[in-house]
Structure 1
Amino acid sequence: MGIFALLSVIALQAPAAIQTFDPDAHSQTITQCDQLISHPDDPYRVAPGVGRKNADLPAAISACETAIAEDAGNPRLNYQLARAYGYSGMGQKALPYRKKSVEAGYPQSLFVVGFITLLGLNEQPQDTCEGGRLIRASAKAGRLAGQIAFPDYYLEGRFATCDFDVSKAELLTYLKAAQETATGDFYKSMLVRRLADDVEAHDGY
């Protein structure tokens, strides 16, 4: 059986792992904050993404502070203000906005904050297991980066000391979802296929 066929079988056998974030639970009105600092890879952005090198960070901070004053609970806006602060070298100021966005289950924030927590970047306290938990949560929430990164980091043994009950079926479910999202992207599809082979061959579950 080919690996993609195997992924399909595993996805049917495994408990439903992928959840759907409901962006309509929060305002989808495009703000200046969105226009100035949306992340290009954020699947729930409402405006074209802006790369770091092209971002007007002082303007983005001002716009996002204004947007959040009017819509304090919006996880997209909180993530974007945290992004602007982080890129500006103000990681400490970003912390409460990262936290609020993560607590709301915003997929982009779950992955990014998980990644910088895993590595201890940008004044985010380093915590391997918490970083892994957040990256895993982003995978469950449908974020492609998390669906690729969590299996990869797990196979590397990064979470060996963490109390994670991870199964082969879970990892292959993430990779099946990633395969569907990455359709048409040669390099991502190749990476997913190789990771699925590695997951299938791994014995440490």
Structure 2
Amino acid sequence: MTQLIRVLCAVLALCSAVRAGSAQQVVFEEWHYHQPGDLLFDEGVHTAGVILEDYSFAIMVLDAEGKNTAIGAVIPGTDFQDSVKSTLTMTDGSARTLTITGDQLRRERPKAPGMVSYSFFLSDEDVELFQAARDWTLQAGDQSATFPLAGSRVAVDAAREAQKISAAGPEVRAEWIAACDAAAAHPYDSESPVPGVAWDDMDPDVATPACLNAYAAGEVPPRIRYELGRAYDKAGDSRALELLTKAARDDHYPIAYNALATLYGTGTYTTRNIATARDLLEKGVESDDPVSTYSLGRMLIEQGKGATDDIDRGRTLLLEAAEAGYPPAQRVYGQWLVDGTLAAGDPERAKSFLEKAAATGDADAALALAQLYVGDSGLPADPRAYLKYLKLAAKGGNQTALDALKLD
């Protein structure tokens, strides 16, 4: 029951942010199963609930072991009552009323003025009645709130399914973690035990449910929090911001710094903030994440605006990421050695980096290699090498290469 009250109080703090328009959009008047990133979600329990337009809300909590279910509500009020009346109005208009008092009733004052909360345990039969009813009224003295139960059957059933996963034991948990890794791991996550999936190849319809089930299994590793955030982001789901924020700022998961920095750098799901993005990338570099190292190096060079120190450091970071084997860094470093972005051009050294990137399937690197052999880059013209790498780029889907082959 303490866990339930903690959930209720945390939600009240968020509701004040919703009033100010600074939190995520809230859907009122219909029950929902709460997933990671949702306003009413809390790790370690499975919940379904509804919020009214006056920010009263009801929430049903199922513990991870499947032993207890509780119902709680936050309603307007300033004084606690010794007992409350719980009334379910059934679809045929009949009413079922229960008085809860004494040790059966838990009272709490949430962190919001003019609101009080009451909660109590439910039997399995009570839960079935809630799912079958039309609405639920909780009355405490002169204060009351009536909550529609639309969507409660689907929402509570979803919470029960998640509860079953968490109660199934370590083998089931390991299976869902493996499924999440297989569908959403980053190919260059140094903490991941699997090869990973490129962004373009990731299917959010597969990755999201797999990672949600891994989450439901309990004891969430930071890697799974990051991978769920990545799956959300691929689906265009704004909950990615919260998941990636937790993975980076709370878990200090190395590659999550780059993912969160990307959201701030592009203004995705949040206000664009280049300074915040840079600070996050600095933390990623400190954590030895090659992806963050590449991103910060590129940022410093592209946005250095003539600042020699930034540009020199950017070149060092970009080279570090390239030598660590990160293909985009190898490709960009190679391209910039050719076009003079990195001071004097060095096509011979550029070739070695581009070859490494192209060998991993980087189609843009293969195209850059092909262009090295046209004859105006500093290397001798080589039609065979040009055609070889042009075909490799086309095979990887590079549109410029595909168009060039059509012309040839």
Could you tell me the TM-score, scaled by structure 1's length? 0.63
Are the structure 2 counterparts of residues 80 and 127 from structure 1 closer, same or farther at C-alpha, using a change threshold of 3 Å?
Answer: same
Counterparts of 1:53 and 1:167 in 2: how far apart (Å)?
31
Counterparts of 1:183 and 1:102 in 2: how far apart (Å)?
21
- SS for the counterpart of 1:113 is helix
CA contact (8 A) 2:186 2:198 kept: yes
CA contact (8 A) 1:83 1:94 kept: yes
Counterparts of 2:208 and 2:326 in 1: how far apart (Å)?
35
CA contact (8 A) 1:128 1:158 kept: no
Amino acid at match of 2:222: P
Counterparts of 1:32 and 1:118 in 2: how far apart (Å)?
30
CA contact (8 A) 1:152 1:195 kept: no
- SS for the counterpart of 1:31 is helix
Higher helix share: 1
Counterparts of 1:139 and 1:172 in 2: how far apart (Å)?
14
Counterparts of 2:187 and 2:194 in 1: how far apart (Å)?
9
1:39 counterpart = 2:186 = yes
Write the deviation string for residues 4-41 of structure 1: whole angstroms up to 9, x where unpaired.
Answer: xxxxxxxxxxxxxxxxxxxxxxxxx6521111111223
CA contact (8 A) 2:214 2:220 kept: no
Partner of 1:66: 213
- Offset at residue 176 of structure 1 (A): 5.5
Please show how residues 11-160 of structure 1 align to structure 2 within 5 Å: 31-91=178-238, 93-103=239-249, 104-121=251-268, 123-157=269-303
- Offset at residue 120 of structure 1 (A): 0.6
Write the deviation string for residues 33-62 of structure 1: whole angstroms up to 9, x where unpaired.
Answer: 111111223232222322344433233212
Aligned pairs, how many?
163
Structure 2, unmatched stretches of 5+, are 1-173, 345-408
Identical residues among aligned pairs (%): 21
Find the structure with the greater CA-based Rg. 2
Amino acid at match of 1:153: M
Partner of 1:190: 334
- Offset at residue 147 of structure 1 (A): 1.8
Q: 1:178 aligns with which of 321, 333, 348?
A: 321
- Offset at residue 143 of structure 1 (A): 2.1
CA RMSD of aligned residues (A): 3.3
- Offset at residue 75 of structure 1 (A): 1.7
Amino acid at match of 2:180: C
- Offset at residue 133 of structure 1 (A): 0.7
Counterparts of 2:213 and 2:319 in 1: how far apart (Å)?
40
Are the structure 2 counterparts of residues 173 and 52 from structure 1 closer, same or farther at C-alpha, using a change threshold of 3 Å?
Answer: closer
CA contact (8 A) 1:34 1:77 kept: yes
| Greater mean alpha carbon deviation, residues 149-158 or residues 170-179 | 170-179
Counterparts of 2:247 and 2:325 in 1: how far apart (Å)?
25
CA contact (8 A) 2:244 2:260 kept: yes
Amino acid at match of 2:274: T
Amino acid at match of 1:178: A
Are the structure 2 counterparts of residues 84 and 167 from structure 1 closer, same or farther at C-alpha, using a change threshold of 3 Å?
Answer: closer
- Offset at residue 101 of structure 1 (A): 0.6
Are the structure 2 counterparts of residues 114 and 188 from structure 1 closer, same or farther at C-alpha, using a change threshold of 3 Å?
Answer: same
Are the structure 2 counterparts of residues 182 and 72 from structure 1 closer, same or farther at C-alpha, using a change threshold of 3 Å?
Answer: same
- Offset at residue 140 of structure 1 (A): 2.1
Counterparts of 2:330 and 2:200 in 1: how far apart (Å)?
26
Amino acid at match of 1:141: S
CA contact (8 A) 1:175 1:192 kept: no
